[in-house]
């Protein structure tokens, strides 16, 4: 069973004559161990997932052109990642490598390179800065992507209502450190649960 209460809201009072306020999202620490409880339903889901992963691993031993299939899957995931923030040509146009979609091709390729660069590395703020730089500017990029120092908002209006605003700058590094600790130190947690919760966070 997954517990749905996954964050707290931190109140901020702005330094202006109105003393207006807003709330920011603080993720509940993964290392608290309170995100889920093992019950029959979750155990059955994990058993089914591991069975399917085993079947997939077995099939992968005999599928021809595995490298090409992996590359296509990575490119498609990179394409979807880009769609979160930017409009794009269709995935099939990008695969066709048409001159008219060169900018989209370069962006998707950079995101795929960033994914590859992250494989096997420990999640740290420096590593995230590095892969974000590659995703935005390509593998030859020298620019460092710094942790933001100002609060960002998803709407044009700042209100004192308790709704989602991104994590405040002062709490970003601790949130990253929590995910890293959960992934690399907590060895007792099932690997599927680790992957799901880290992705969710």
pLDDT value at position 97?
66
pLDDT value at position 3?
47
Task: Say if residues 169 and 150 touch (Cβ distance below 8 Å).
Answer: yes
Q: Is residue 115 part of a domain?
A: yes
pLDDT value at position 40?
92
Q: Is residue 154 part of a domain?
A: yes
Instruction: List the pLDDT tens digit at each of the 201 positions of the chain.
Output: 444 445 677 777 777 666 778 888 888 888 877 788 889 999 999 999 999 999 989 988 888 888 888 888 898 898 888 887 777 778 887 777 656 667 778 888 889 999 998 888 888 888 888 888 888 888 777 777 888 888 888 778 777 888 788 888 888 888 888 888 888 886 788 889 888 888 887
Task: Say if residues 138 and 108 touch (Cβ distance below 8 Å).
Answer: no
Helix (H) or strand (E) holding 25: strand 21-27
Cα 78 from chain centroid (whole Å) = 12
**CA 3, CA 39: separation in Å to the nearest integer?**
12
CA 62 to each of CA 54, 57, 68, 181: distance values in angstroms, whole numbers, following the listed order: 13, 9, 14, 36
Q: Is residue 80 part of a domain?
A: yes
pLDDT value at position 65?
87
pLDDT value at position 99?
60
Q: Is residue 1 part of a domain?
A: no
pTM score of the predicted model: 0.72
Q: Is residue 36 part of a domain?
A: yes
67: domain range? 7-200
Q: Is residue 46 part of a domain?
A: yes
Domain count, the chain: 1
Q: Is residue 2 part of a domain?
A: no
**CA 189, CA 165: separation in Å to the nearest integer?**
30
**Beta pairing, strands 21-27 & 7-13:** antiparallel
pLDDT value at position 2?
43
pLDDT value at position 4?
43
Q: Is residue 61 part of a domain?
A: yes
């Amino acid at each position: 069973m997954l517990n749905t209460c996954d964050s707290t809201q931190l109140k901020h009072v702005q330094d202006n004559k109105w003393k207006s306020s807003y709330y920011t999202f603080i993720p509940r620490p993964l290392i608290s161990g309170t995100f889920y409880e093992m019950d029959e339903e979750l155990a059955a889901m994990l058993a089914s997932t591991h069975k399917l992963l085993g079947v997939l691993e077995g099939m992968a031993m005999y599928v021809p052109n595995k490298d090409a299939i992996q590359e296509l899957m990575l490119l498609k995931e990179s394409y979807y990642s880009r769609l979160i923030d930017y409009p794009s040509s269709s995935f099939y146009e990008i695969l066709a490598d048409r001159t008219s979609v060169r900018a989209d091709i370069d962006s998707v390729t950079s995101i795929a390179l960033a994914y590859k660069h992250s494989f096997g590395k420990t999640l740290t703020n420096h590593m995230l800065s590095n892969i974000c730089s590659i995703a935005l500017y390509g593998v030859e990029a020298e620019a460092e992507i710094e942790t933001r120092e100002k609060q960002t908002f998803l709407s044009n209006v700042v209100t004192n209502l308790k709704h989602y605003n991104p994590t405040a700058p002062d709490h970003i590094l601790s949130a990253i450190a929590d995910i890293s600790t959960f992934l690399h130190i907590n060895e007792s947690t099932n690997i599927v649960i680790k992957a799901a919760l880290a992705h969710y966070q």
